[in-house]
Structure 1
Amino acid sequence: MTETPILTTPLPAAKRGRRRDGAPCAAEYHAGYLAVLGERVRAARVRRGMTRKILARDSGVSERYLAQLEAGQGNISIGLLRQVAEAMGLPLGELVREGAERPIELTLLVQRLERLEPEQLAEAARLLTKQFGLDRGADRHDRIALIGLRGAGKSTLGKMLAASLGRPFVEMADEIQAAAGMSLDQIFDLSGQAGYRRYEKRALERVLERHARFVLATGGSIVSEAGTYELLLSSCYTVWIKAAPEEHMARVVAQGDMRPMEGNAEAMEDLRQILLEREALYARADASLDTAAQSAERSFSQLLQLVSEHAK
């Protein structure tokens, strides 16, 4: 069976360059990554005292192909790269991950953390935060962030809470559009998901710089970007606003947005799957509030109580 290549065929020269948001186009982006990947394979092979001939024998990948790979010119498939990694006794992730080379201490630390149970990992995260000052101060209660899927009631409750506490209400979607200088639809059209994530983090950083106290309604997918979510958790008192999938959908439609229902008979099942995939991430919030089958006034009363108890 033919393996699917990791990377696409390079673009024609006329299509190379940079996008409007400053990110590299496909050819430039892939070329840089292939060079890093090739050097990583070569370094791992040399560290293990393996000649290219030995690696070719053990992996079943030809010497010529390995030479191209190490030179940054090999558009290798996932399957073949996995064979190369296994021949060197390496996890595939060590070769394909993004970013600069890790210090050996970090590699060993990650290996130790991977052996911990979920509860132990949570405790390790708390210890690291306490020991190394990753928490942005005891004034987190002055910065309140509401997370959860669209339709949970973040904006409605956020505005009510901000008015009650005398703090500015900030809508993350508005901040992202301001940071990008374009609408959300334009961001996705021009820069894709990666561009949106960059603007999202930039917007959060700007909110933290401009406001010492606020109530923030975030986008539902902010938990999917680890760096941005960690910044949010360490900087703000976070509350997961949740509801049943049916209520999420009904509230979005009630707002006049019929897109979830258009041409998608499986919209509800998709929503349930999204909730399932994100549940553990949302659960990292400081507190949670279930708005299912409750009026906005009742939910607000409970939210105000949660915030007041945290501030004590």
Structure 2
Amino acid sequence: MNPIDESEILSGLGKRVKLLRARRGMTRRVLAGEAGVSERHLANLESGTGNVSILVLAQVAQALDCPLAELLGDETTSTPEWLSIRRLLHGREPTEIERALRAVGELFGGAHGQAPGFRNRRIAFIGLRGAGKSTLGQMVAAKLSAPFVELRAEITRLAGCAPVEIQALYGSNAYRRYERQALEDTLQSHQSCVIATAGGLVGDTSTFDLLLANCLTIWLQATPEDHFTRVLAQGDMRQLPGNRNGVDDIRLTLESRAGFYAKADLTFNTSGKTLDEAFTGLMGVLHERVPMVETV
């Protein structure tokens, strides 16, 4: 049996925690509070110097010739069928995984099993803050004479307070429940519309799958520097404490969510463009996918 590389396991665990935290848009303080651990302990965990007891679990898993997840007992290890699926998919190329996902979606009517024509009646913008989802979304909605829905505004209406207050008072899980309800209400109320989502919606895979299943999704992209500059120009200082590591934080968040954003039907980069240029280019991209959409 080969010796276990302790530094590799701990650093990998720390990176995974950071990526998952970034994907969900949670600060270290928020995560520490919800997990019931100190910020210092969480900082040690993310830096790769966390509780070494995880190494004991890794040694046991290696001795049993099973993944650590199987030892911990997540859903995908609960039955022989789940384990067979894990083994079948293990080590496959991303394109093969995507094909498998589409096949499962078609079998069970998931996000990838819906007819494009059905989804094209609703257009949803995804991406980080500062990409232009709200501004361009409103312009596209006006051009198409369709209702515009700002999902954050719908969350505020449902909860009676702003998203930041929801998370501060009730936690991120409560916010995700309101986000899910806001999307469900929007889909039920509008057969056609333009939706601007919150950047962290992809952190809840079930809600994101619901969006993919019912909307033509567009990932609005921008460089980390442009995201940062635009957010500051809007006066939005969330997750940018002191602005010391703002661009680095955005870069990490992009890294953690890129694989999810990439599931969008279309992508459009807004960096290096004026608002008018971005709108014209975006309408052109939409026209290529949905010919009934007229270009500007």
Percent identity (aligned): 41
- What is aligned with 2:228? 249
CA contact (8 A) 2:123 2:195 kept: yes
**1:115 alignment partner, one of 91, 97, 103:** 91
- 1:187 match: secondary structure: helix
CA distance in 1, matches of 2:231, 2:119: 30
Post-superposition shift, 1:155? 0.3
1:151 is displaced (CA, Å) by 0.5
Shift of 1:142: 0.5
Partner SS state of residue 84, structure 2: helix
Number of positions where the alignment pairs a residue of Structure 1 with one of Structure 2: 242
Structure 1 residues 5-57: Cα deviation after superposition (integer angstroms, max 9, x where no partner): xxxxxxxxxxxxxxxxxxxx989xxxxxxxxxxxxxxxxxxxxxxxxxxxxxx
Find the counterpart in structure 1 of residue 130 from structure 2: 151
Shift of 1:188: 0.9
Q: Answer yes or no: is 1:189 the counterpart of 2:189.
A: no
Q: Is the 8 A contact 2:76 2:82 kept in 1?
A: no
Rounded Cα–Cα distance in structure 2 between residues aligned with 1:101 and 1:271 = 34
Note if 1:214 corresponds to 2:193. Answer: yes
User: Is 1:130 aligned with 2:134?
Assistant: no
- Following superposition of structure 1 onto structure 2, how do residues 98-113 of structure 1 map, counting pairs within 5 Å? 102-113=78-89
1:278 paired with 2:254, answer no
Taking CA–CA contacts closer than 8 Å with sequence separation of 6 or more, which of the two structures ends up with the larger relative contact order? 2
Amino acid at match of 1:140: R
Look up the match of 2:40.
none
Residue 118 of structure 2 corresponds to residue 164 of structure 1: no
Deviation at 1:238, TM superposition (A): 0.6
- What is the aligned-residue RMSD (CA, Å)? 2.7
**Offset, 1:304:** 1.6
**Gap runs ≥5 in structure 1:** 1-24, 28-76
* Bigger radius of gyration: 1
Task: Give CA deviations for 1:127-162 in whole Å, capped at 9, x if unaligned.
Answer: 222343323443100011101110111100000111
- From 240, 256, 262, give the equivalent of 2:219: 240
Asked if 1:296 is matched to 2:275, the reply is yes
Q: Is the 8 A contact 2:130 2:226 kept in 1?
A: yes
| Cα drift, residue 251 of structure 1 | 1.2
SS at match of 1:241: strand
Residue ranges of structure 2 left out of the alignment (5+ in a row): 1-33, 37-52, 292-296
**Deviation, structure 1 residue 237:** 0.6
Amino acid at match of 2:264: A
**TM-score under structure 1 normalisation?**
0.69
**C-alpha distance in 1, partners of 2:77/2:84?**
13
- Matched with 1:203 is 182
